Amino acid sequence: MRTEFENGILTAYLDGEIDHDAAAKIRTRVDASAQALRPRVLCLDFGNVGFMDSSGVGLVMGRYRMMKLTGGTLRVVNVPDRLYRVFALSGIEGLGVLR
Amino acid sequence: MKTVNEMKLSFPSKSCNEAFARAAVSAFIAMLDPTVSELSDLKTAVSEAVTNCVVHGYRRDSGTIHISGKITEDRRVILKIRDTGVGIADVKQAMEPLFTTAPEEERAGLGFAVMQSFCDKVRVRSATGKGTTVTLEKRISDAR
Ligand SMILES: Nc1ncnc2c1ncn2[C@@H]1O[C@H](COP(=O)(O)OP(=O)(O)OP(=O)(O)O)[C@@H](O)[C@H]1O
Ligand SMILES: [Mg+2]
């Protein structure tokens, strides 16, 4: 995972397979960067994610709550079609974070 | 229906084995030449079932997760994922979308909903203190 910080926007380029094991590692890294940089927007880029189960939804919901607490916003971008079904089941579309 | 292939796997409930279980099941069903989406559906469902054994069944303890797989002549894949952990008191409630007993661990309560939406059949047998067996069934479309 690569991260980038520009104009108050912290972008995390997620890759590989997001399961329970990987989500825990991503969470630790993203949250540490967010704590240090205090971004106004946290952007999770799913463009290079090949696989995701419901742990990915938990990851997004947790980051959504974290950003809300600090008055920031979350964006989820470049979700590949094949991952979309898991997000669709979650009702997460209602949060307005998916782009 | 005649069984054309079978397998059994046992491994410790470490989270790194979630990826192992997906890979092993993918290799097992390769003989059916599934489509990309059929393969991805089964991998996702297996990932959910195995993760539940790790996260809920055995919680902080460690235990053994068992998978048995069968392929039938009519191209159905039947997978049983079993733990001997804490078990589920109310299976019906557990299977409701968004129900979770672990919100503080950022669980979404979607595992069973994913299994049900990605497989043809999902059966859950559980007894508190004894463990849980989830049976997933999916038919793979005819050879193209
Ligand atoms: N193998 C198991 N052993 C004990 N309890 C289980 C097991 N599998 C599921 N459960 C119970 O059923 C509930 C619902 O499971 P489900 O997979 O749908 O959601 P989750 O695991 O809580 O969240 P998610 O799968 O979205 O990360 C769990 O919170 C847990 O209480
Ligand atoms: Mg689950």
CA of A8 to the centre of ligand 2 (A): 34
All residues of chain B having their beta carbon less than 8 Å from the beta carbon of residue A61 are 106, 108
Cα gap B17→A86, rounded to integer Å? 21
Cα gap A42→A52, rounded to integer Å? 20
How far from each other are the two terminal CA atoms of chain B, in whole angstroms? 22
Q: Which of A17, A24, A90 sits opposite B108 (nearest CB)?
A: A90
Q: Which residue segment(s) compose the domain that B54 sits in?
A: 3-139
- The pLDDT assigned to A92 comes to 85
**pLDDT, tens digit, 9 for 90 and up, residues B36-70:** 999 999 999 999 999 999 999 999 889 999 999 99
Q: ipTM of this predicted complex?
A: 0.94
Count of domains in chain A?
1
Name the burial class of residue B68, with classes exposed (0-12), middle (13-18) and buried (19+) by CB atoms within 10 angstroms of its CB. middle
Residue type at A59 in one-letter notation: L
Query: For residue B34, what is the domain's CATH number?
Result: 3.30.565.10
Q: Does some domain include residue B144?
A: no
Confidence of residue B144 (pLDDT cuts 50, 70, 90): low
Confidence of residue A91 (pLDDT cuts 50, 70, 90): confident
- The pLDDT assigned to B45 comes to 98
Q: Does some domain include residue B96?
A: yes
All residues of chain A having their beta carbon less than 8 Å from the beta carbon of residue B106 are 23, 27, 58-59, 61-62
Query: For residue A69, what is the domain's CATH number?
Result: 3.30.750.24
The answer to whether residues B28 and B5 touch, using CB atoms and an 8 Å cutoff, is yes
- For range B105-123, the mean pLDDT: 97
